[in-house]
Structure formats: structure tokens, C-alpha cells
Amino acid sequence: MKSRLCDLVGIEYPVIQGGMAWVATAELAAAVSNGGGLGIIAAGGAPAEVVREQIKKCRELTEKPFGVNVMLMSPFAADVMQVVIEEKPAVVITGAGNPGKYIPAVKEAGIKIIPVIASVAMAKKMEKDGADAVVAEGTEAGGHIGEITTMCLVPQIVDAVSIPVVAAGGIADARGAVAAFALGADGIQVGTRFICSDECIAHQNYKDAVIKAKDRDAVVTGRSTGAPVRALKNKLTREYARLESSGASKEEIEQLGVGGLRRAFAEGDVQTGSLMAGQSAAMVKNIEPCADIIRSYFEGIDDILNGIREKMI
Ligand code: TUI
């Protein structure tokens, strides 16, 4: 199972791990890269020097290529980008904004740049600005999201650009991977399922919450403030919904979310923490090693294709 994405970034399976703040540490990134995918360290809202330490740690844990996800809404984004350019991981993934101004310097450093985008216009702009590939992230994904579903976003982006397209959002197993490739994707990005890996350092309570989640449990808050976020339903999301419908100020609503990720991922507070996760949480059933998760996306593809042929009478 190889695609042009594998050649672009030097991996065995066309799977990129999602850049989840507080979850995507050096340990997870190295495990995914050692398993043949592209492991990603998420900078999230961390200061640049913390990210540098994570890159160094990841290098101790794997000799395979890995990447860093730079969250562009972070106040430290410019400093993080500078550290990344100095440390030269194989790939930079960006999220939550337009990385255009950073692309020339990243490429100059010999690093591949793959922006996460949620619209056709942004995909075209990224290709024009020199991006090596794009991640087309549908609204099924966890965390900060766009509005279009993976099913509708991926084929439109595949038709609009000629660089490789990585599908993201809602891809929980081999069936999802086959669907993504059928839509024209060159690879998949997987976030939520890697939370439930042996190597992920997130709190056990958070992993248990993902495993317990059912179809309607990954809800969106923050639409009224212009930064919609998908997370598992709990006391925090209910309080968010209450504030949003009561006409509270943007500041008051945003204040509620401060520290929420740390409470969920580090302290295991599943009630007032922000349990960011995608709709695929409902399909995650157990905790496994990253290498097994990666293989599970690609084993059984022939059976799925044969199943399709058998259905067509
Ligand atoms: O970035 C993500 N997912 C995230 S970031 C994050 S941290 C956060 N926490 C609370 C509120 C907001 C952020 C948690 N999860 N995914 C990639 C992604 N990027 N999804 C959508 C976008 C995106 C949105 C707008 C990419 C580009 C873009 O362009 C805007 C522009 O400038 O035109």
C-alpha cells in the first residue's frame, strides 16, 4: 500500500497522525513513525522551546521521518515556526489558519509543508503558494473544524489541485480508508483513533471517554464565536451551549474554554475538561499499539473491494 504521499515524505503506509495538542507528544509521534506512518508532534499552544525539546526527544525515539503540527492561532506560532526551521523535521503541518507567509522559509530549509485546509479556495491558494500537499479536513474531525463533510470536501479538493490530497475527519477503520482513496485521496490523516493507542500519554479517563462515546456524543460548540470546536459531550460542552444561547459575550464564552485541554488530557477531568475528539470516537473500541492501528487501516482492503463487487448484482 503505497501512494505518492509515501514517496513525498518517506513513509511506508499513507497515513499521517493528526496534530492533537497535549496528545500528540514525541512518544506518540515516534510510535506512529516507527509503525510506518508519519508521526506528528503537535505544538498546540506550547512555547517554542518546549517544541524544540519534543523534536529532540522524538529523534531519540525514532530514526524515521516525523513532522510538527504548527497551530497558527497560537500566540507562539511565529517562534515555533522559527524553531522548526532550525530543527528541520521532515514535515511541517499547519492548522487553524493560512500559513502562506511561512511557506518560502520552510521550503528553503528543505522541509515539506502540508497545510490542513477546510475549503476549496484555501486548497487552491496553498497549491499556488507552494505547499507540497494538503490535508482536506472534514467537519467530522475533532477540535477546530470547518463546515464541509469529508465526503463532499475531498473530491472537490482532488478536482481543484494537482498536489497530493490527504483526507481527514471520520476515518476510523479500513472502510473509511477505502472510501477516502475512492474519493481520490492519496493518504489519510487519523487523529481520534490514535488517542486510544498504548503509546499515547493522554490520561486513561480521556481514553475511556473516547471508547465509551456513541454516535451523537462528539458535539460542536463555539459556532457563535466563529471558532467551532468538536469535543465529547460533558459538563463543559453543556455549559458552553447554555452560555452561547443566553447571549453571553464572546469573552465570557471563550473564558470557559481556557485550560480545558490540559484538564482533560493531563488531569483526566472528563467533566470540565475539553475532550476534543472527532465523530469517529464512536467507532473506536479498544486501546492498541500504534503499529497495529496503522496496519488495521490497510489490511482487509481487498476484502472490502471484493465485498463491493459482490454487492453489485
Ligand atoms: O486546527 C485544527 N484543529 C484544531 S486547532 C485546535 S486549538 C483551538 N482550540 C480552541 C479553539 C480554536 C483552536 C484544536 N483543533 N484543524 C485543522 C484545521 N484548520 N481545521 C480548519 C482549519 C482551517 C481554518 C481556516 C485552516 C485554514 C483556515 O484559513 C483561514 C483563513 O485564513 O482563510
Ligand 1 center–CA 53 separation, angstroms: 24
Q: What is the mean pLDDT of residues 147-159?
A: 98
Position 252 confidence tier, pLDDT thresholds 50, 70, 90: confident
Ligand 1 center–CA 266 separation, angstroms: 22
Residue from 30, 20, 38, 16 nearest 207 by CA: 20
Decide which of 248 and 103 is more confident.
103
Percent of the chain with pLDDT over 90: 91
Decide which of 136 and 254 is more confident.
136
Which residues approach ligand 1 with their CB closer than 6 A?
21, 71, 73, 95-98, 116-118, 122, 137, 143-146, 227, 229, 276
Decide: 134 and 118 in contact? Cβ < 8 Å: no
Q: Look at the chain and count its residues.
A: 313
Ligand 1 center–CA 312 separation, angstroms: 40
CA distance 81 to 102: 8
User: What is the residue with the minimal CA distance to atom 23 of ligand 1?
Assistant: 96
Q: What is the mean pLDDT of residues 211-236?
A: 96
Of 144, 190, 220, the one to substitute when testing ligand 1's pocket (max ligand atoms within 8 A of C-beta) is 144
Which strands make up the sheet holding 15-17, listed edge to edge? 15-17, 187-190, 165-168, 134-137, 112-117, 91-95, 66-71, 39-42
Position 261 confidence tier, pLDDT thresholds 50, 70, 90: confident
Ligand 1 center–CA 124 separation, angstroms: 17
pLDDT surpasses 90 at 60 = yes
Sequence-distant (6+) residues with CB within 8 A of 211 are 196, 284, 285, 286, 287
Q: What is the mean pLDDT of residues 29-58?
A: 98
Distances (CA, A) of 148 to 52, 142, 163, 186: 34, 13, 20, 19
User: What is the residue with the minimal CA distance to atom 30 of ligand 1?
Assistant: 97
Q: What is the mean pLDDT of residues 150-174?
A: 98
At 166, which amino acid appears? V
Residues 277-310 as b or e (16 or more Cβ within 10 Å = b):
bbbbbbbbeebbebbebbbebbebeeeeeeeeee
Position 287 confidence tier, pLDDT thresholds 50, 70, 90: very high
pLDDT at position 225 is 87
pLDDT surpasses 90 at 41 = yes
Q: What is the mean pLDDT of residues 212-234?
A: 95
